């Protein structure tokens, strides 16, 4: 029997462009929605129901949180499942949300609100994509201009489905061995990329179907509009 697909949306506390997210949610359906701490403020603004609410709740609006705690917002007569954590903890609310998504059987995870003005959180969130990658869960960070994900095996890219024009590949591991790019404006053949290399930045997919081949290591992939 084929595995059941479960698409999970995690909304966390970074920058969200409301017009983009509203359009994105109109085009994409999710089985489960998770609001992580101040991401719950965005959930409320979007007027969508979170199946789970997680975090230490140090940055979410008290008015918004109380609304869910008191049962003012229901789905099929039920309140969201709320998981509160201590404010002094060794992991971010985004990590809590990612681990929850995996524990409830996500096969695909989309993270909104993971980018913004806090560069420390952005770098941390990209590294957090390792958690679903290790569990064979497809995961992407998406904002109005970018789609970010990790690649650790041979990958097929369809140009029509790209999020943006520019396609960048950066090593996440110290070395990525044997990178081959076919169907790209700037192809590569069995090139070893070291962390700190900028060779893979701002490429473009030139063919209808492109291929990324790697022998060892992990790449950060970014599809960007501009």
For 20, the enclosing helix (H) or strand (E) is: helix 18-27
Q: What is the pTM of this model?
A: 0.93
Q: Domains of the chain by range and CATH?
A: 7-144 (3.40.50.10240), 155-224 (2.60.120.320)
pLDDT tens-digit map of 66-87 = 888 777 666 767 788 989 888 8
Q: Please work out, in degrees rounded to the nearest 5, the angle formed at the alpha carbon of residue 142 by the alpha carbons of 44 and 129.
A: 105
* Site of tokens 């509160």: 84
Query: 80: which 2 tokens?
Result: 């969201």
* Site of tokens 């989309």: 110
pLDDT tens-digit map of 82-136 = 898 888 888 899 999 999 999 999 999 999 999 999 999 999 999 999 999 999 9
| CB-neighbour burial class of residue 187 (10 A; exposed 0-12, middle 13-18, buried 19+) | middle
SS3 at position 67 = helix
């Amino acid at each position: 029997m084929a595995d059941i697909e479960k698409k999970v949306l995690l909304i966390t506390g970074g920058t969200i462009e409301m017009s983009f997210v509203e359009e994105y949610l109109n085009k994409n359906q999710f089985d489960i929605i998770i609001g992580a701490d101040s991401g719950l403020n965005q959930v409320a603004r979007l007027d969508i129901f979170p199946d789970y609410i997680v975090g230490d709740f140090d940055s979410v609006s008290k008015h918004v949180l109380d609304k869910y705690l008191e049962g003012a917002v229901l789905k099929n007569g039920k309140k969201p499942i709320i998981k509160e954590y201590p404010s002094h903890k060794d992991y971010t609310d985004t990590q809590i949300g990612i681990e929850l998504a995996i524990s409830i059987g996500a096969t695909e995870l989309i993270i909104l609100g993971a980018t913004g003005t806090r560069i420390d959180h952005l770098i941390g969130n990209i590294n957090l994509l390792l958690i679903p990658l290790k569990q064979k869960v497809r995961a992407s960070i998406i904002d109005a201009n970018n789609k970010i994900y990790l690649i650790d095996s041979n990958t097929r890219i369809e140009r029509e489905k790209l999020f943006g024009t520019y396609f960048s590949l950066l090593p996440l591991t110290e070395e990525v061995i044997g990178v081959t790019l076919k169907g790209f404006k700037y192809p590569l053949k069995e090139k070893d990329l070291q962390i700190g290399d900028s060779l893979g930045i701002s490429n473009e997919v030139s063919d209808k179907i492109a291929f990324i081949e790697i022998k060892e290591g992990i790449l950060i992939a970014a599809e960007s509009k501009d």
